[in-house]
Structure 1
């Protein structure tokens, strides 16, 4: 059967299906095509926000190719799979690559749990890349209808040159699926649950800062930008740079979402958001440059300068976010701490910040009970890189925004290192 075989009507999504619920719940526009379906698995396994742990590390680690190859920040699927599992609370066990569709079908769990698969987007008819462009792409496959059919669950969301890719759940016959994956290399990855990741925010920020110190001490951003600027074939360079800035933009948006979740309203969250917005602007400029060079017009030279400046701004932000150093403190502004407290409680309850700010007694809010009080305390400790004294955790104070603000201000004022 041809690989262009069309799927049947999309499988009906039930409200109890954790995969389709996860696809709807996640902001998939901050994830690349390898991350996105692993993120769905994390959400389905550990609940909302679990996938955001992919965004904690603020990375810039380009691979400089030999010969005429341009550098790239894109990592191989095998490399991404190796580090994603620990962040997501999953055991991702990559098997040997296959080239036979029926061998892939034999790996599908009979209980309907998903198999994570990386294949060629050229062979996936639900994607606009189908029949147009070869590229690695992930999908979740699972048996349905008593094993007679197979569902493809793909949360990828992106505007492509061939049309829009949108999250889908498609059902195929087993023979169709075997035909779709026959003759191309497919990497199957079995999935098991592991304990969810609970890495302290301060540890992640410190690791980001160590990487950033090395970047600021060297010339990697300048070398990286120069490779594209000095490429004789500027059409090739601009198309490659468009992909690079797309990847960097998505990773910075994911980092901003991670920061907003762990430290809502904080300097960390606001600066991460501003950096992500700057990357969004640069990605737009690179798209414009690629279109101009395709029409024989010169490339706006400022995109290369902007690229270097933005990479170095990322690094300075990472150093600042990790604190000022042992023995020093970073005084907190009361208004900013109040905003952080309000947004933290609002995020935990899934309610509007205005409702939290207007409430004298948080226990009057629907859902704010002992469990939510504990989560608020833990989130604020993570946000500011401190540990509240047990004697300060009075229920009367923890039920009031003012009480929580005072707790943060007193604790950070006495801490050796306070994180924004």
Structure 2
């Protein structure tokens, strides 16, 4: 391969296949570098939206950092992979670390299926971290062209100090692919598909509320923020805090997407979106603080109390969410059902709710097709805990907001009569 040849294609431009299609349907900016490629696998195996189960739990569990006294909410990759698989309907069994690239490639499935691998971002040339920073990073490897080449599929999406990381598909011959992993430990993780083990929405909200009550009973948010505020080396502290708020911001954005998926148009979805936006703002402020400190300027003092306040606000929101959704069914009043239908269609199509609400024929909206009709039906069935009768799934009904509202109202009314 010549020095000028680029082996990578943006996923948005790549030839469509199940993995690429899954990437296109995911907000990759809501996932970190360990989650994102497991999310691609889950959506490819079980359908769009499966990955959102990673966002159900609202977690704040800082632990001692690997270096020095600063805490971190980041878990070691090896501790996250198998539990992640339980939610995604994937058995992700971590193999023994491999330091020989050829030995790693020997583990690729012969049928061209993907092998999930966690390696060193420093060795991955499609990333801005390449030759700059060592960190665990996941990638999907698969054999193509009858085993003559290897594709690296990576959905990671982030602005970094070294440039932008975008979802890509990269193709290498065997020697090139092996060289990427020679001499650096990589964790191979074979993938097997199983039914997802999904807790109910109410159960997840209850667990979030329990964790929220524990946090509110003590001073963990203030102690966490003070550790960064009082650290002797403020360059180190601000750099670490930037990573912390980045991780917390992405997790809150994913949580908001999970709520919107399961409770579309609900007050809880609106609150979760507001909370995620507040974390995005704080992460931006921490980026500014890190840059200022690098230039010898003082740390903006507001970032530390803001961090503690956001953590407390998250906990308070979690407690309220469980109280407002204590296991009851979705509301069945026509106006509430219409709001749910509009937000569900908008989420499936990536459209503005206002555009959906004012469109007589949904097929006029960009992105609407048979696949989106099916996903809308399945999302509404999941939301209301019903199954629509096959004879009611008329195309004219499914292409119209009012038709979908009527379908939900008739089906839920019938379910209530059947259980009376």
Listed as ranges, the matches of 1:393-408 within 5 Å are: 399=403, 401=405, 404=408
Partner of 1:9: 7
CA-atom RMSD, angstroms?
3.7
Deviation track 1:309-334 (CA, whole Å, cap 9, x = no partner) reads 00000001111111159799999998
Residue 37 (str. 1) matches residue 41 (str. 2): no
CA contact (8 A) 1:88 1:197 kept: yes
Residue 378 (str. 1) matches residue 382 (str. 2): yes
The 1:5–1:203 alpha-carbon spacing in structure 2 relative to 1, beyond 3 Å, is farther
Q: Within 2, Cα distance between the matches of 1:372 and 1:400?
A: 9
The 1:47–1:103 alpha-carbon spacing in structure 2 relative to 1, beyond 3 Å, is same
CA contact (8 A) 2:101 2:181 kept: yes
Partner of 2:239: 239
Partner of 1:210: 210
* Larger CA deviation: 313-322 vs 328-337: 328-337
Listed as ranges, the matches of 1:257-406 within 5 Å are: 257-323=257-323, 338-347=338-347, 353-354=353-354, 357=357, 375-381=379-385, 399=403, 401=405, 404=408
Partner of 2:254: 254
Q: Within 2, Cα distance between the matches of 1:76 and 1:111?
A: 31
Deviation track 1:237-295 (CA, whole Å, cap 9, x = no partner) reads 00000000000000011111111111111111100100000000000100011011111
Q: Within 2, Cα distance between the matches of 1:197 and 1:208?
A: 18
- Give the deviation of 1:13 after TM superposition: 3.4
How many residue pairs match? The answer is: 399
* SS of corresponding position for 1:61: coil
Partner of 1:140: 140
Could you tell me which runs of 5 or more consecutive residues in structure 1 were left unpaired when the two chains were aligned. 382-386, 413-420
Q: Within 2, Cα distance between the matches of 1:370 and 1:44?
A: 16
Listed as ranges, the matches of 1:83-94 within 5 Å are: 83-94=83-94
The 1:377–1:343 alpha-carbon spacing in structure 2 relative to 1, beyond 3 Å, is same
Q: Within 2, Cα distance between the matches of 1:142 and 1:374?
A: 31
Q: Within 2, Cα distance between the matches of 1:48 and 1:250?
A: 19
- Give the deviation of 1:340 after TM superposition: 2.4
Partner of 1:57: 57
* Larger CA deviation: 282-291 vs 337-346: 337-346
CA contact (8 A) 1:373 1:399 kept: no
- Give the deviation of 1:399 after TM superposition: 4.5
Q: So what's the TM-score if we normalise by structure 1?
A: 0.84
* Larger CA deviation: 134-143 vs 67-76: 67-76
The 1:366–1:167 alpha-carbon spacing in structure 2 relative to 1, beyond 3 Å, is closer
- Give the deviation of 1:175 after TM superposition: 1.0
- Give the deviation of 1:187 after TM superposition: 0.6
CA contact (8 A) 2:202 2:326 kept: no
